[in-house]
Structure 1
Amino acid sequence: MRHQMPADRVAHLDDPSRGLSTAEATARREAFGANDIVDPTTNGWREVLRDTVRDPMIWFLVGTAVLFAALGDYPESAVLSFALLPILGMDAWLHRRTRASTEGLTSRLAVQSRVIRDGAPTEPSTTELVPGDLVLVSASEYLPADGVIVAGEALQIDESALTGESLPQRKRPLVTGDGSATSGVDDACWGAAGTRLLTGELRLRIVNTGANTLYGEIVRLAQAGPLGRTPLQQALGSMVTALLFAAGVLCLGLALTRYFQGHGIVDALLSAVTLAVAALPEEFPVVFTVFLGVGVFRLARRKALVRRAVVVENIGRVTAICSDKTGTLTEGRLRLEHVLPAPPGTEPSLLLVAARASRRESNDPMDLAILECAGTVEGARLATFPFNEQSRREVAVFDAGDGRAIAVAKGAPETILAMSHDRDSRRDEWLRQAGELAASGHKVIACAHRVLSEWPGGEPDRDFEFAGLLAFEDPLRPGVADAVGEAQNAGIRILMITGDHPLTAGAIAREAGIGASTPRLIDGAELSARLARGGADALRDIDVVARCLPAQKLGIVRSLQSSGEIVAVTGDGVNDVPALQGADIGIAMGERGTRSAREIAAIVLLDDNFRTIVGAIAEGRQLFANLQLSFAYLLIIHLPLVLTAAFVPLAGFPLLYLPIHIVWLELIIHPTAILVFQQLPAGARLQRLRRDSRHRFFGTREWTVIGLCGALLTVLVGSGYAYSLGSDGNVGHARSMAMLTLIVASAATTAGLCRFRTRAAWIAVAATLASAALLIPVKPIAALLKLEPLHGDEWLIAIGAGLLVGGATALFHRPRAAERPAA
């Protein structure tokens, strides 16, 4: 990973002891702003209070408590008022818990920093740091901003807060004068805000502050992520509106029915209000918003920065990835692999010719790779004739002394052989070798040289002596082949798009394992013909597109979308913007991507690695599955709660639930839905996505399980209530039976859906069951809740009923045989 250093943000890079002056720091603070990595927050308790008063449960309790007090039922009013305390406490705790990922970052930031200012150490507030500052960091201290390490020995940094990697990373100072300032700084020389120095002492030249740091970006995205409305969020809004309308009609009908049944106005109002609160679907948008924020943070730890919250919802549904080759599947750097000198030359002599024909200042990866192997080149360069598409060669002329000159050339093998005097004798043999190397994924050039007894000027173009071939390769990134195999085994289609020669593209695709043993390949010309013909199956039998123009990417994306695929596409240039915007998930390269590509993309990869894409999809699929489980839990518990709250009183029986019972149940349901399911971790392997989950939140099987479990629990709760009421006519006894059945079912459903895979699940189940064990058997407490202790057989019946529902929910995510991944 390489980090860019804009010239306006760097100062005194060649002097690791010189800091800024006060005047320079002041000017830079005005230009770049304060180093506020985490934005200053408003009063915490005020924010908690503002969120809490939006909770309809609060107003429900206040209103019913006032109603009972007005009627003279002061004990009931006191109980409801006391119930405000756990509701307020839960709201405050959940408020803090859902912001923990953002506020936890603040604790990993230094408050004070040691900086060289005006030639002397000083300790300003971290927020006063500016780009160009020279910061001194000792062992166990946190880095206050992003920057380049300019001094230090035996350095190790804990970067787990950013990357999730538990092992410390070794770092070293930047060696100035090696061109790093223009080509980017290697990650080994870079320090990031929020990471902690474990060993040694370093000097950090600050480059990025505030929101421009990686830490600041993660915080900003985690805060902004939940704000965008996604398609699912819009669907939830429509569902909530419909449910509110239905609940309103049902509540009005229940109130009128109870009143005309002769139960009085108070009973009618309590029936309607209790049903309204039970039916209010406020958990769904709350849970969804929380999951979006959690998803943004979890993807950021996977080195995938989310720019729009819709990604958290959609990335798990991706079924096709259109990937670049260079820098995504491969390392994005050329490495000289084969040196084939022409007899009687040697490898050093061939490298010398190639080095003379190369220029370090060009920043051409091939030139840099040659010079790295060949070392320094002696002699004065007289002239350079750069490479262009017409000549397909680069020629340089050097002073050889004694009035002579040496001309060297490198370029396409056919071009160099054509300008060599031995072009006929071994031309076919050299071209065959060049073709074989190209077919195995190498980039091949030829070199030649010529001694000029005199040089009148101009570019020499004939009578060269052929020196040999050089073969370069852009190595496949470590782990890419495994990531490609994992994605394809999970049903994701990989399409490699590259501008390279078909032979090179095919070789890389085979090495990465894309498609079958022999990847199916077409070039840009054939692609145009297929797209022109149209049809959903235009690209169904294609694995690789070579010689592809960036402008053709959008056509590829639209063709795949027309065949029903959910498409993720990678890009790094301005010409990739249409494809990034048109894809379901646009993924920009963070290291080499242009600003336009990063701004339009939904995700920015921090390491430009294909493995990160697959890891993000795995995380997205797990988050989507977690959200499904949370919503399934809410539906399975809410359906019987609402139905029994409505139809038991409509049938003329006494009220099944009083306001305090709804409070009790909400204290169980709300934290369980938010905290238990969001923490479920992604598995070791990418999950296979069922086709009916691409465009729907729940498939047919999930809806069937939810409907059957909800109906079963409704029948069991209603039957238990009727059974206990019929045995002795005690309403409190019957309510205890119904409440215990619901509570045990809630615990069993939680266990059945999440399989006890997190600590939160154990705590939620234990706390749920403990509430029933504490509140129902103890007669004074039960009396306050208008309940009665149960007999032993009733405990067994209620527990058995709840466990029956929990056992049925375990079928929610059992894969069909055809969908289980191959072993």
Structure 2
Amino acid sequence: MRIPVPVHRLPEAPREARGLTSEEVLTRRGRYGRNDVMARPRRSSLATLRESAGDPMLWFLVGMSALYLALGEVTEGLVLMGAIVPLLGMDAFLHHRTRASTEGLQSRLAARAFVLRDGREEQVPAVDVVVGDLVRVDAGAYFPADGLVVRGEGLQVEESSLTGESLPVGKRLLGHLPSGDAPPVEGRYWGLAGTRLLTGTAWVRVVYTGADTLYGSIVRSAEQGARARTPLQQAVAHLVSVLLVVAAGLCGVLAFVRWRQGFGWGDALLSAATLGVAALPEEFPLALTFFLGAGVYRLARRQALVRRAVSVENIGRVTCICSDKTGTLTEGRLRVVQVLPAEDLTREALLRAAALASREEGRDPLDTALLDEAARASVPTRGVTVRATFPFTEERRRETAVVEEGGALLAVMKGAPERVMACCALEDSVREAWTRRISALAREGRKVIACASQSLAPASWRGGEPDHGFFFLGIIACEDPIRAGVREAVRECQEAGLRTIMVTGDHPETAWTVARELGLGGARPVVMTGEALEADLEGARAPPAVDVVARALPAHKHALVRALQAHGEVVAATGDGVNDIPALQAADVGICMGERGTRGAREASSIVLLDDDFGTLVRAIAEGRQLFLNLQRCFQYLLLIHIPLVFTAALLPLAGYPLLYLPIHIVWLELIIHPTAMLAFQEAARPGRLGPARERRAARVFSSRQWATVVVVGGLLTVGLVWGYDRSLGVGRDVAHGRAVALASLTLASACFAAVLTGLRTRTARWICAVSLGVSVLLIQVRPIAVVLGLHPLHADDWARVGLGVLVALVPLLLTRGTRGLSPALGRRGPWPAPRRRHTAG
């Protein structure tokens, strides 16, 4: 990971052991702002209670308590008022859980910092650190901002909060800044906010503070993205508005009918209010918000940091992944495996030329591999002065350095073999022989570079890059091992119908070999170059039939993403550089590599992978799919339990029966429904199982068959409740007995519905079902409590009727669960055609 350093932010001499003056501090704070990393302060308990006070159930309790007290029913009024306490506590707990993933980040930030100002060291709040400050960080302390390490010895840093890497990272002192207005500097020279120093004492020159830090930018963008309304949220909001209109109409009708039946205005208001709260669909938006928050938290634990809430939905609908190779499918750490010098040249001479053409500052993985191999071979590179460098670019695909040694100038070049050989004078037979060797190595999955050199006359060289007349030195083959677990992740994608396309800048032969090792495209993956793909996409009427895009430029990746979307795919694209931004923005889910990703790539992406691992991406998709299934089952549960509750609360009073539910009974049921819906369905994705793909219509929660199941099961339970209530009233019209039967049926049904829908696969689901049922039995069967609640304890034959009614309602649900009717088809394949085998490698 390389981070740019705007030179204007630093004092004239960054390494100078001089702090800022008070005047400089004020000037820089006014220019760059405070070091406020978090987007907002931690919420107080009072603020959480105020937010919880928006729950309609609380106002229902207050209103009903006042009504009972006005009617002289003191006991009922006080009982309802006391029910506010557990409901407030439960809401506060749920609000706390939805914010856990973001609030937990605060613990990774320094509270205070030691800075050098006005010639003396002083301790200040971390928020008062400014750009340009010289900060001292002791072992065990957190870095307060992002800065360059300028002094220290034996520094080891724990960076798991940013990279997911548990091993300590060694830090080096920055000798001098590379030239330029904003030169990039390797991460080994940085101390980053949110990371902790394990050993030594570091002095850091601050470059970025607040939202500009890597830690702060991720946290703030995640907060901003969380406020965006997703398609599913919009659909649920529409559903809630329709249900509210229906509920209001039913309440008005019920109040009018009860008043006309002669029950009085008190009974009419009580009936209408009870029905209104029973029919109020506040659980649906609350469940959606809670599940999205839980999804963000669970993905963060999977090393996938969500920056926009819509990604939690979209990642579960992904049907195609356009993945980079280096660092994502592979380890991204090259090592030299073969050194093949030209005739009459030694291995050490070839390695020396490769090392001289590599950069010490701002080195990439290839430079690191070559320099490390040269060091292991004890190749001398000291005493050489670099006069000019001409860096590698995607267009040039080569890198040249002009060095001076003993008064002589030497130009050394390394890069793609075809580009290097084009600058060399080679006989056709020799060129063909080297080409065959290069192709053979590429077929083995090696990354092959060629090296060349030529002597320059100091008097004639004018500072430009030589591009001809080079002497070919030979080739070096490097290997980038496939990451552990990636083969299994690719196979998991294939089994779940999730298409994977590898996009790489490597040679087609190398890309083909890596694809075969991964299992992409079977035994003979389809490989196309970026140029061939671009030509193939012009006027294409079908999605591109390709497994690997080699020699790909950023424009080719962007065109691939657009083409796949045009043919109905939901695309996830990975990237790490500024040149990947167009593809990241175009993709349905843009995924940035957190270890290597630039600031621009992180801003353009919707998810940041903290460990750059393809397996992490697949696990994130699995969590997204599982989250939708959890939410779907939660909504099914809510509908299954609310349909009989609402219909019996409305139909029985309309038919002239006494009120079935009193306000305290609605509170009782809500105290069961809320935690069951929010907590029992929080199932994590199981390892090794990607899960079913969602339909592309994001706002569609249920299929027609699922709606039919919900209606049938809800209808059967409604009939069972009416039958049980009528039988239990008896000749003496024992209303308390009938209510006890109805409440026993609903609580048993709640536990059974949750048990069937969750499969009792989690400990939380088992506990909630057991506790809710056990507490309900106690409330009904313990006579003093039952009397307070307006109930009579039930006999054995009553419980038998309750069990029979619930069992009959459960039959359709059990049958559909047995045929997977409540989930989209498992293993559904994507709509893409079989790849056309018209361009393969190997």
Q: Give the shorter-chain TM-score range.
A: 0.7 to 0.9
Given that 2:14 and 2:205 are in contact with CA atoms closer than 8 Å, whether structure 1 keeps it comes out as: no
| Alignment partner, residue 681 of structure 1 | 684
Q: Distance in 1 between matches of 2:88 and 2:428?
A: 90
1:298 aligns with 2:298: yes
Whichever residue aligns with residue 688 of structure 1, its letter is G
Q: Distance in 2 between matches of 1:3 and 1:419?
A: 33
Query: Offset at 1:305?
Result: 3.0
Aligned partner of 1:538 among 530, 543, 552: 543
Taking structure 2 as the reference length, the TM-score comes to: 0.84
Task: Say which SS state the counterpart of residue 426 (structure 1) adopts.
Answer: helix
1:743 aligns with 2:747: yes
Q: Distance in 2 between matches of 1:318 and 1:681?
A: 18
Q: Distance in 2 between matches of 1:306 and 1:20?
A: 37
| Alignment partner, residue 840 of structure 2 | none
Q: Distance in 1 between matches of 2:627 and 2:33?
A: 36
1:315 aligns with 2:319: no
Given that 1:383 and 1:396 are in contact with CA atoms closer than 8 Å, whether structure 2 keeps it comes out as: yes
Task: Say which SS state the counterpart of residue 124 (structure 1) adopts.
Answer: strand
Given that 1:225 and 1:296 are in contact with CA atoms closer than 8 Å, whether structure 2 keeps it comes out as: no
1:485 aligns with 2:491: yes
> Which deviations, in whole Å up to 9, do the C-alpha atoms of 1:90-123 show, x marking residues without a partner?
3344344433444444455443334444454432
1:550 aligns with 2:587: no
| Alignment partner, residue 722 of structure 2 | 718
Task: Say which SS state the counterpart of residue 685 (structure 2) adopts.
Answer: coil
Given that 1:150 and 1:173 are in contact with CA atoms closer than 8 Å, whether structure 2 keeps it comes out as: no
Q: Distance in 1 between matches of 2:99 and 2:168?
A: 32
> Which deviations, in whole Å up to 9, do the C-alpha atoms of 1:752-784 show, x marking residues without a partner?
333444454344334412431332223332222
Query: Offset at 1:684?
Result: 1.1
Whichever residue aligns with residue 485 of structure 1, its letter is R
Given that 1:749 and 1:807 are in contact with CA atoms closer than 8 Å, whether structure 2 keeps it comes out as: no
| Alignment partner, residue 279 of structure 1 | 279
Given that 1:226 and 1:290 are in contact with CA atoms closer than 8 Å, whether structure 2 keeps it comes out as: no
1:494 aligns with 2:497: no
Query: Offset at 1:670?
Result: 1.6
Alignment of 1:188-199 (within 5 A): 192-194=192-194
Structure 1: state its 5+ residue gaps: none
Q: Distance in 2 between matches of 1:247 and 1:45?
A: 33
| Alignment partner, residue 832 of structure 2 | none
Q: Distance in 1 between matches of 2:208 and 2:430?
A: 56
Query: Offset at 1:731?
Result: 0.4
Taking structure 1 as the reference length, the TM-score comes to: 0.86
Structure 2 CA distance for partners of 1:14 and 1:640, relative to 1, 3 Å: same
Q: Distance in 2 between matches of 1:163 and 1:385?
A: 31
Q: Distance in 2 between matches of 1:222 and 1:406?
A: 51
| Alignment partner, residue 341 of structure 1 | 341
Structure 2: state its 5+ residue gaps: 830-842
| Alignment partner, residue 731 of structure 1 | 735
Over the aligned positions, Cα root-mean-square deviation in angstroms equals: 4.1
Larger deviation, residues 235-244 vs 287-296:
287-296
1:819 aligns with 2:822: no
Query: Offset at 1:519?
Result: 0.8
Given that 1:115 and 1:121 are in contact with CA atoms closer than 8 Å, whether structure 2 keeps it comes out as: yes
Q: Distance in 1 between matches of 2:400 and 2:154?
A: 45
Q: Distance in 2 between matches of 1:43 and 1:775?
A: 36
Q: Distance in 1 between matches of 2:164 and 2:353?
A: 47
Q: Distance in 2 between matches of 1:408 and 1:218?
A: 41
Given that 1:405 and 1:455 are in contact with CA atoms closer than 8 Å, whether structure 2 keeps it comes out as: no
| Alignment partner, residue 623 of structure 2 | 619
Given that 1:382 and 1:398 are in contact with CA atoms closer than 8 Å, whether structure 2 keeps it comes out as: yes
Structure 2 CA distance for partners of 1:745 and 1:202, relative to 1, 3 Å: farther
Structure 2 CA distance for partners of 1:420 and 1:57, relative to 1, 3 Å: closer
Whichever residue aligns with residue 276 of structure 1, its letter is G
Task: Say which SS state the counterpart of residue 112 (structure 2) adopts.
Answer: coil
Whichever residue aligns with residue 111 of structure 1, its letter is A
Q: Distance in 2 between matches of 1:736 and 1:808?
A: 26
Given that 1:356 and 1:377 are in contact with CA atoms closer than 8 Å, whether structure 2 keeps it comes out as: no
Task: Say which SS state the counterpart of residue 819 (structure 1) adopts.
Answer: coil
Query: Offset at 1:550?
Result: 3.5
Larger deviation, residues 635-644 vs 128-137:
128-137
Whichever residue aligns with residue 272 of structure 2, its letter is A
Q: Distance in 2 between matches of 1:50 and 1:689?
A: 40
Structure 2 CA distance for partners of 1:117 and 1:295, relative to 1, 3 Å: farther
Whichever residue aligns with residue 244 of structure 1, its letter is L
Q: Distance in 2 between matches of 1:693 and 1:386?
A: 44
Larger deviation, residues 306-315 vs 7-16:
7-16
Larger deviation, residues 66-75 vs 505-514:
66-75
Given that 1:317 and 1:694 are in contact with CA atoms closer than 8 Å, whether structure 2 keeps it comes out as: no
Whichever residue aligns with residue 625 of structure 1, its letter is L
Task: Say which SS state the counterpart of residue 322 (structure 2) adopts.
Answer: strand
Q: Distance in 2 between matches of 1:219 and 1:404?
A: 53
Larger deviation, residues 409-418 vs 55-64:
409-418
Whichever residue aligns with residue 170 of structure 2, its letter is R
Structure 2 CA distance for partners of 1:224 and 1:711, relative to 1, 3 Å: farther
Given that 1:14 and 1:176 are in contact with CA atoms closer than 8 Å, whether structure 2 keeps it comes out as: no
Given that 2:332 and 2:365 are in contact with CA atoms closer than 8 Å, whether structure 1 keeps it comes out as: no
Given that 2:317 and 2:693 are in contact with CA atoms closer than 8 Å, whether structure 1 keeps it comes out as: no
Q: Distance in 2 between matches of 1:79 and 1:16?
A: 71
Aligned partner of 1:177 among 175, 178, 187: 175
Structure 2 CA distance for partners of 1:730 and 1:438, relative to 1, 3 Å: same
> Which deviations, in whole Å up to 9, do the C-alpha atoms of 1:66-105 show, x marking residues without a partner?
3334444444333333333333343344344433444444
Q: Distance in 1 between matches of 2:576 and 2:456?
A: 45
Alignment of 1:18-417 (within 5 A): 19-39=19-39, 41=41, 44-138=44-138, 141-147=141-147, 168-177=166-175, 182-186=183-187, 192-194=192-194, 206-213=206-213, 215-217=215-217, 219-221=219-221, 223-332=223-332, 335-356=335-356, 369-372=369-372, 373=374, 374-376=379-381, 378=383, 413=417
| Alignment partner, residue 836 of structure 2 | none
Given that 2:383 and 2:405 are in contact with CA atoms closer than 8 Å, whether structure 1 keeps it comes out as: no
Given that 2:42 and 2:103 are in contact with CA atoms closer than 8 Å, whether structure 1 keeps it comes out as: no
Whichever residue aligns with residue 511 of structure 1, its letter is E
Q: Distance in 2 between matches of 1:51 and 1:463?
A: 74
Higher relative contact order (CA 8 A, sep 6+): 2
Given that 1:109 and 1:142 are in contact with CA atoms closer than 8 Å, whether structure 2 keeps it comes out as: yes
Q: Distance in 2 between matches of 1:87 and 1:382?
A: 73
Given that 1:752 and 1:807 are in contact with CA atoms closer than 8 Å, whether structure 2 keeps it comes out as: no
Alignment of 1:577-588 (within 5 A): 577-588=581-592
Query: Offset at 1:512?
Result: 3.0
Query: Offset at 1:654?
Result: 1.5
Query: Offset at 1:591?
Result: 5.1
Aligned partner of 1:709 among 710, 713, 716: 713
> Which deviations, in whole Å up to 9, do the C-alpha atoms of 1:237-266 show, x marking residues without a partner?
110111111112222222333333333333
Larger deviation, residues 577-586 vs 313-322:
577-586
Structure 2 CA distance for partners of 1:139 and 1:527, relative to 1, 3 Å: closer
Query: Offset at 1:812?
Result: 6.9
Alignment of 1:584-595 (within 5 A): 584-590=588-594, 592-593=596-597
Larger deviation, residues 795-804 vs 427-436:
795-804
Query: Offset at 1:313?
Result: 1.4
Larger deviation, residues 350-359 vs 431-440:
350-359
1:433 aligns with 2:437: yes
Query: Offset at 1:640?
Result: 1.3
Structure 2 CA distance for partners of 1:593 and 1:771, relative to 1, 3 Å: same
Q: Distance in 2 between matches of 1:308 and 1:739?
A: 42
Q: Distance in 1 between matches of 2:425 and 2:696?
A: 66
Larger deviation, residues 69-78 vs 376-385:
376-385
Structure 2 CA distance for partners of 1:545 and 1:261, relative to 1, 3 Å: same
Query: Offset at 1:348?
Result: 0.8
1:513 aligns with 2:519: yes
Q: Distance in 1 between matches of 2:414 and 2:424?
A: 12
Query: Offset at 1:304?
Result: 2.9
Q: Distance in 2 between matches of 1:311 and 1:254?
A: 43
| Alignment partner, residue 603 of structure 1 | 607
Q: Distance in 2 between matches of 1:457 and 1:35?
A: 50
Given that 2:186 and 2:362 are in contact with CA atoms closer than 8 Å, whether structure 1 keeps it comes out as: no
